[in-house]
Amino acid sequence: MRPSVEGIMYPVNACSQVLFGNSDDSEHRLDKFVYTVPHASWSLCKASLDSVFSALRGREFTRIFVLGPLHKGPIGEAEACVYAPEDGVLEGSDWSMELAVPTEISSMVVRSDDVCSEECSLEIVAPYLCKLFPGVPVCHLLGTETGSCSRIAEILRRNFSSGLFLISNNVRTNCAFMWKEAFSI
């Protein structure tokens, strides 16, 4: 998968601009390893991103999950599905990350680089993830409704207790409500 909003929603040299500010995560921490991150361009949310990721400095995770809403809409008959990009590498101008869906949920997601590349939830946080957690596999999931997200969230919590879960949500629109409900938050 290739980046689609680099230079538009975040700068081309984003990794070099990652800063760590105030580490108060109380506004963004929902549970032990579940955080909300802004679902907006860096021009609107960089201070919040700096704060969230400052709180995560020095922590270690075996897997990272970036959970966002699917704005494009379901494809064909797959309306109650969760989407994920194909396994591989997502690479920006100064960052790179491994994308991998764990086998525990692989059969439960619809794979589509086309659908996933049009959503900004992963790209907005990718430079931070690459700087703080190099080499940690990232699973990007896009939900459409609470039921399918809940089934996946249950499996993820059970199998990845030392994983980091980032719910990409816009506070004004609550666009990632399905993931917040799935994690019962």
Residue 17 lies in a domain: no
Q: What is the pLDDT of residue 80?
A: 64
Mean pLDDT within 15-37? 72
Q: Please, which pLDDT band fits residue 27 given cuts at 50, 70 and 90? A: low
| 50-103 pLDDT per residue, tens | 888 988 988 899 999 999 998 776 555 556 689 999 999 988 888 899 999 999
Residue 74 lies in a domain: yes
Q: What is the pLDDT of residue 103?
A: 95
Q: What is the pLDDT of residue 185?
A: 63
The crossing angle, in degrees rounded to 10, of helices 42-56 and 121-132 is: 40
**Residue span of the structural domain in which 96 resides:** 28-132+144-182
Instruction: Provide the residue type at 158 as one letter.
Output: R
Q: What pTM does this model have? A: 0.90
Is the pLDDT assigned to residue 28 strictly greater than 70?
A: no
Query: In Å, how far are 24, 132, 172, 183 from 135, measured between CA atoms?
Result: 26, 10, 33, 26
Residue 19 lies in a domain: no
Q: What is the pLDDT of residue 116?
A: 74
Q: What is the pLDDT of residue 75?
A: 58
Residue 7 lies in a domain: no
Q: What is the pLDDT of residue 74?
A: 57
3-state class (DSSP) for residue 109: strand
Show Cβ contacts of residue 173 under 8 Å, excluding neighbours closer than 6 positions: none
- Backbone phi and psi for residue 142, each to the nearest 5 degrees, phi listed first: -115, 120
Tell which wins on pLDDT, 1 or 90: 90
Residue 2 lies in a domain: no
Q: Please, which pLDDT band fits residue 21 given cuts at 50, 70 and 90? A: low
Look at the chain and report how many structural domains it folds into: 1
Q: What is the pLDDT of residue 17?
A: 82
| 94-153 pLDDT per residue, tens | 889 999 999 999 999 988 887 777 778 888 899 999 999 999 999 999 998 899 999 999
Residue 164 lies in a domain: yes
Cα angle, residue 114 at apex, residues 110 and 118 outer, rounded to 5°:
110
Q: What is the pLDDT of residue 39?
A: 86
| 170-180 pLDDT per residue, tens | 888 998 999 99
Is the pLDDT assigned to residue 26 strictly greater than 80?
A: no
Residue 21 lies in a domain: no
As a whole number of angstroms, the distance between CA 27 and CA 95 comes to 27
162 C-beta neighbours (distance < 10 Å), count: 11
- Backbone phi and psi for residue 166, each to the nearest 5 degrees, phi listed first: -115, 115
